[in-house]
C-alpha cells in the first residue's frame, strides 16, 4: 500500500485528535485575533444604535444549549449595547429550553448597568403557539402573556403598562437556531412592518441573506464570527472573540484535510 492509499484510509480517530487539539489549544492559550466588522453586522449595530433612548427592544430566545456557544455571546453583546444606550428590553422565548439562557444573560448584564426588573427590562418567558402567538401579539401581548416567567402579572410591571403590541416595540431581535426566524420575518415583519434584526447560527446564516438583501431585516449577525464582531463593536470582548481563534484554526485544518484528501484521490486515480 502506497503513501497516498495509507493517507486515504487514515483512521478517523487521528482526524478527531487533530481537531480536538486545534480547538482546545488556542482557547487555553487565550490567543485573540484582530476582528474586522462585516456589513451585515454593522447594519445590525447601527440599527440598535440609532434607536432613541427608552425605546423597547424585544429579544426572542429561539435556541437552546446546543447553539449556546454561538448565540449566547451574541445575546450578551446585544444586551450590553441596549443597556448602555438606555433602551428597554422585553425578552420572550419561542424555545422553552432557551428561557434559562435568556434569564442568565439578561440578569447578569442588567446588573452590570444597574437596571431594574420591571422598569428597564422584563422577561415574559415561553408560551406555546409559535406562529399563532407571533401573529396574535400584533393585536395584544396580554392575550398570550398575562404574567412574566415568574408568574408576576405584567400589568403590575411599570414597563409593560404602555406596551400592548408591536406598535409599542421599536425593534425585534430574533436569536435563531432554527426556522423561527423565518416566521418572525414572514408573519411579524410582513404583516406588522416590524423592524427585525436576526442573530443566527452560522449554519442557517445563508438562509437569512435573502431577507437582508430585500430589506426585510435591518441587520444580520451570523455565527460565532458575527458574535465576535458585535462584541468588538460594543467594546466588550467575550466568548465570541475568544472562540474565533479556535474556529480559525479548525477551518484551516479542515481545508488542509480537504487538500490532502484530494491530492490522495488524484494520485490513486492516476495510478489506477
Neighbours of 57 (CB within 10 A): 24
Instruction: Assess 144 for contact with another protein (CB under 8 A).
Output: yes
**Sign of CA pseudo-dihedral 98, 99, 103, 104:** negative
Q: How far is the CB of 113 from another protein (least distance, A)?
A: 20
Closest CA to 229 of 219, 240, 239: 240
In terms of Cβ atoms closer than 10 Å to its own Cβ (0-12, 13-18, 19+), residue 87 is: buried
Instruction: Assess 36 for contact with another protein (CB under 8 A).
Output: yes
Instruction: Assess 176 for contact with another protein (CB under 8 A).
Output: no
How many binding residues for another protein (CB under 8 A)?
69
**Cβ nearer to another protein, comparing 12 with 272:** 12
Q: How far is the CB of 84 from another protein (least distance, A)?
A: 25
Q: How far is the CB of 74 from another protein (least distance, A)?
A: 15
d(CA 180, CA 176): 7
**Cβ nearer to another protein, comparing 102 with 174:** 102
Choose one: 50-58, 110-118, 153-161, 204-212; the region binding another protein (CB under 8 A): 204-212
Cβ atoms of 61 and 29 closer than 8 Å = no
Within 105-124, which residues bind another protein (CB under 8 A)?
A: none
d(CA 109, CA 194): 26
Cβ atoms of 49 and 230 closer than 8 Å = no
Task: Extract the C-alpha cell encoding 207.
Answer: 438562509
Please report, as ranges, the residues that interact with another protein according to CB under 8 A: 8, 10, 12, 15-16, 18-20, 23, 33-36, 38-39, 64-69, 97, 99-100, 103, 125, 127-130, 132-133, 135-136, 139-140, 143-144, 149-151, 191, 202, 205-207, 209-210, 213, 223, 225, 244-245, 247-255, 257-258, 260-262, 265-266
Amino acid at each position: 500500500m502506497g503513501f497516498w492509499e495509507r493517507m486515504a484510509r487514515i483512521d478517523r480517530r487521528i482526524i478527531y485528535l487533530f481537531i480536538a487539539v486545534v480547538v482546545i489549544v488556542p482557547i487555553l492559550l487565550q490567543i485573540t485575533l484582530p476582528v474586522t466588522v462585516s456589513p451585515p453586522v454593522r447594519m445590525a449595530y447601527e440599527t440598535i444604535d440609532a434607536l432613541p433612548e427608552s425605546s423597547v427592544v424585544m429579544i426572542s430566545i429561539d435556541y437552546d444549549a446546543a447553539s449556546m456557544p454561538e448565540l449566547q455571546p451574541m445575546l450578551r453583546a446585544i444586551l450590553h449595547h441596549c443597556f448602555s444606550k438606555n433602551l428597554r428590553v422585553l425578552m420572550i422565548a419561542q424555545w422553552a429550553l432557551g428561557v434559562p439562557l435568556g434569564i442568565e444573560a439578561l440578569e447578569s448584564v442588567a446588573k452590570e448597568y444597574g437596571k431594574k426588573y420591571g422598569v428597564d427590562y422584563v422577561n415574559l418567558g415561553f408560551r406555546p403557539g409559535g406562529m399563532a402567538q407571533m401573529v396574535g401579539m400584533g393585536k395584544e401581548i396580554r392575550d398570550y402573556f398575562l404574567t412574566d416567567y415568574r408568574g408576576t402579572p405584567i400589568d403590575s410591571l411599570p414597563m409593560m403598562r404602555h406596551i400592548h403590541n408591536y406598535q409599542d416595540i421599536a425593534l425585534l431581535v430574533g436569536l435563531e437556531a432554527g426556522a423561527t426566524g423565518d416566521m418572525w420575518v414572514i408573519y411579524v415583519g410582513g404583516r406588522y412592518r416590524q423592524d427585525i434584526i436576526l442573530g443566527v447560527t452560522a449554519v442557517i446564516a445563508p438562509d437569512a441573506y435573502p431577507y437582508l438583501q430585500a430589506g426585510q431585516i435591518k441587520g444580520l449577525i451570523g455565527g460565532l464570527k458575527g458574535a465576535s464582531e458585535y462584541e468588538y463593536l460594543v467594546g466588550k470582548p467575550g466568548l465570541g472573540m475568544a472562540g474565533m481563534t479556535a474556529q480559525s484554526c479548525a477551518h484551516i485544518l479542515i481545508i488542509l484535510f480537504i487538500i490532502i484528501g484530494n491530492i490522495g484521490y488524484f494520485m490513486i486515480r492516476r495510478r489506477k
